Amino acid sequence: MQNYKNKTQQASNTINQQGPTWAAMNPEFVARMQLQNRFNTGLDIAKYTAKIMREDMASYDKDPANYTQSLGCWHGFIGQQKMISIKKHFGTTRSRYLYLSGWMVAAMRSEFGPLPDQSMHEKTSVPALIEELYTFLKQADGRELQHLFKEMDDAREAGDQVREQAAQQSIDNFETHVVPIIADIDAGFGNEEATYLLAKKMIEAGACCIQIENQVSDAKQCGHQDGKVTVPHEDFLAKINAVRYAFLELGVDDGVIVARTDSLGAGLTQKIPVSQSEGDLAEQYNAFIDGEEVTSLEQMKSGDMAIKLGDRLIKPTRLANGLVRFKPNTGEDRVVLDCINSLQNGADLLWIETEKPHIGQIASIVNRIRDVMPNAKLVYNNSPSFNWTLNFRQQVFDAWLAEGKSVAEYQREQLMSQDYDNTPLSAEADERIRCFQKDAAAQAGIFHHLITLPTYHTAALSTDNLAKDYFGEMGMLGYVKEVQRKEIRQGLACVKHQDMSGSNMGDDHKEYFSGAQALKASGKDNTMNQFAI
């Protein structure tokens, strides 16, 4: 809890020690500026938010109803508005984070322009976005506190001590908009040294939680695309070590590492690791390699390779590009092995990339992991790459069919059709979607639910609707009715965009610095006065 009077007294003591040369300094103004800038560095943020995540993880272990959530944000303003809205609607930011998606960095923040999610964007753009997000969140703190300071000043001027005390109490109990960011480092952008160097930059920018995946860095694909290639466990664990060393070097001792496995959908490996002892990780990894048993050298041709697996000699199945194929239908077993070994070697949370949002499928994998690691917890991607409507309608269709209920009026492959929107099947599917996060947290070990790319899609949808109306018959009414009027009636603070951008804080600072000579922007002729919010 921040104490306004203590801050003011401390500032007064500092100023008085300097004598008359600092007479222009107002201790109360110093206290206000300090409170509006609670975090001086990104490391301050990382240490603060890591503690929050650890507390939330412990809370989830006690009760899975205490799961956490986030939305992916591609710009500081988007992250800021999300947290302002959460505080407005729910009164607290607790258990709500931000997610930084490598996909959105590639698609929207690269100097090359829009790129696919294949680690082609500049690695520096990731820590740059972390810093930008926290800059906007800190500005949200400053703006909201500025309003509380003004409320306190107005109460003083009116001689209303009760109102003044209430304002001061709100200042002392102010909850910051700064929350944990789960930051995507993709596959580490190179070898383990490259991963370490980038992780340091991300932590210095404020990241308390770094998510890393087990794909080959230079062949990385989006988790929902084909052609994914995984690395041997030793390679992945080296990168987990690199991230942990980065956290420890910078003093973020409780930094969080999310180990993501793409093995469920990845059927290829680039390397065949060397086994050092019977039953080691390399041997376990190689046991999944697909191939033809070799009983005679005549089966081999120039360029072929063979590997001994147990008592058998195998010629691995290789593609024309040299990549080696895993045995079919081994993805789940490889996922379980990946997850157990990641948790046993320094990871804190797991991310299992699945091909559909199915609680039963996720739970079946997690239960196998928890047989070995009872406290295993997942970060799960509620991905826009899933067709949620079709997936859940088909899940209900299949469940009803198994229960003997009639599905004669439905065509399974056509369930996305609007014709089914008002049917009992779609109603049950929607209810399952509504409860998916709560049920998956309880049944499938999911500690954190996120949507990777929601604000990418909301920006496209809202822009499409505005363009359709504004450039069509509605003209200016398309903006006024569908945007501004709704902003006003829903109490969106950004309807007063000058205030949101920091104009009123700037006026305060001018007054601090120049006194009565300050030229302010917030006078009677400011058109923002037309808005009562």
Q: What's the CA gap between 450 and 271, in Å, rounded? A: 32
Asked if residue 184 belongs to a known ligand binding site, the reply is yes
Q: Rounded to the nearest 5°, which phi and psi values hold at 449?
A: -105, 130
**3-state DSSP helix/strand/coil percent for the chain, to nearest 5?**
55, 10, 35
How would DSSP label each residue in 268-312? EES--PPP-STT-HHHHHHTTB-EEE-SSGGG--TT---EEETTE
Residue 309: strand pairing partners: 312
Q: Which residues have a Cβ under 8 Å from the Cβ of 205 and sit 6 or more positions away?
A: 42, 127, 128, 130, 131, 134
- Whole-angstrom Cα distance, residue 444 to residue 60? 13
Amino acid at 251: G
The DSSP result for 425-437, as a single string, is HHHHHHHHHHTHH
| H/E segment holding residue 379 | strand 378-381
Neighbours of 5 (CB within 10 A): 12
* Residues in a beta bridge with 182: 99, 209
Q: Which of 208, 209, 222, 339 is catalytic?
A: 222
DSSP codes, 448-500: EEEESSHHHHHHHHHHHHHHHHHTTTTTHHHHIIIIIHHHHHTT-GGGSHHHH
Task: Assign 409 to helix, strand or coil.
Answer: coil
SS3 327: coil
The yes-or-no answer on residue 435 being catalytic is no
Instruction: Please check whether residue 199 is in contact with residue 210, taking contact to mean a CB–CB distance below 8 angstroms.
Output: yes
Q: From CA 502, how far away is CA 487, in angstroms rounded? A: 19
Helix (H/G/I), strand (E/B), else coil: 196 = helix
The three-point CA angle 469-470-473 to 5° equals 65
Helix (H, G, I), strand (E, B) or coil at 190: coil
Dist CA 15 CA 21 (whole Å): 9
What is the set of active-site residues?
A: 222
Binding-site residues from annotation: 184
Feature table: binding site for Mg(2+): 184
